Amino acid sequence: MTMPKGTLFIVSGPSGSGKDTVLGRLLAAHPEIQLSISSITRPMRQGEVEGEKYHFITREAFEQMLRENALLESNVYLGNYYGTPRAPVEAAIAAGRDMILEIDVNGAAKVRAQMPEAVSIFIMPPSLEVLEQRLSGRGTEDAETVRGRLKEAVGEIARAADYDYIVVNDDLDEAVESLTAVIVGQRAKIARQKYLIDEVLQDVKSRNW
Ligand code: 5GP
């Protein structure tokens, strides 16, 4: 039997879109989907665990990976390197497992250029007003910091049209449902299931009807 390949999903969304919460719910319900663990050089924040969402590595180690072409894509964000290790992505896809890259809009463009078959999804806040509320609702930041984040988020939203799908995160349950529908729908695509058709036809042939 020819195994179908896994699909590479790219998920992006600005700070305040609730992307982490939506993704967390999807992955809890679908443990068969693998999340890519990015290698990054920013310091570990409180509560973060090595190897859970990120591998925390030195600049030297990151630059070594760049030289060895060991990263599928990389980006500099606020002075730190962020990159997607290439080998785990290739291994998952070849083994028929779906993989999700949670990366920013720049990284998404780089992956799309190399792997046009990747399916990209942008998690969108329902409105500017809600985004503003979510960003300022985090607590202690002053108005200027909130405005800075808001500008950053709007810059990302401007590139949402480059994605295959938009999931609006107004109601969390509905957003999780939409994202799940995109992934399940992709699995049913003919390009991925063609081997099943071939199998049936092969079976019919072997029966000499
Ligand atoms: P944070 O430092 O807040 O965890 O992440 C900052 C930004 O980097 C987020 O937009 C996140 O999606 C993005 N990011 C995380 N890992 C990667 C990666 O491997 N590549 C790229 N291009 N962006 C990443």
Query: How do residues 30-49 score in pLDDT, each as one tens digit?
Result: 999 999 999 999 999 999 99
Strand (E) or helix (H) holding 118: none
Q: How many CB atoms lie within 10 A of CB 142?
A: 9
| Residues whose CB falls within 8 Å of the CB of residue 197, separated by 6 or more in sequence, listed in order | 190
Q: Tell me the per-residue pLDDT of 95-117, one tens digit each, with 9 for 90 and over.
A: 999 999 999 999 999 999 999 99
pLDDT at 1: 57
**Average confidence (pLDDT) over 138-160:** 85
**Distance from the CA of 205 to the center of ligand 1, in angstroms?**
51
By the 8 A CB rule, do 109 and 158 touch?
no
**Which among 45, 55, 53, 46 has a CA at the least distance from the CA of 27?**
53
User: What is the Cβ-side half-sphere exposure of residue 42, based on CA atoms within 13 angstroms?
Assistant: 15
- Taking phi over 0 as left and psi of -120 to 50 as alpha, with beta for the rest, 139 belongs to left
Q: What is the pTM of this model?
A: 0.91
147 pLDDT band, cuts 50/70/90, is confident
Do 103 and 73 contact (CB within 8 A), yes or no? yes
- Position 141 pLDDT exceeds 80: no
pLDDT score of 138 = 64
Tell me the two tokens of residue 127.
Answer: 């409105």
| Integer CA distances (angstroms), 197 to 93, 98, 205, in order | 21, 21, 12
pLDDT confidence band for 190 (50 / 70 / 90): confident
Residues having CB closer than 6 A to ligand 1 are 38, 42, 73, 75, 77, 82-84, 102-104, 106-107
Structure confidence at residue 44 (pLDDT): 94
For position 142, what pLDDT does the model report? Answer: 80
Residue 16, sorted as left (phi over 0), alpha (psi -120 to 50) or beta, turns out to be left
User: How far apart are the CA of 103 and the centre of ligand 1, in A?
Assistant: 5
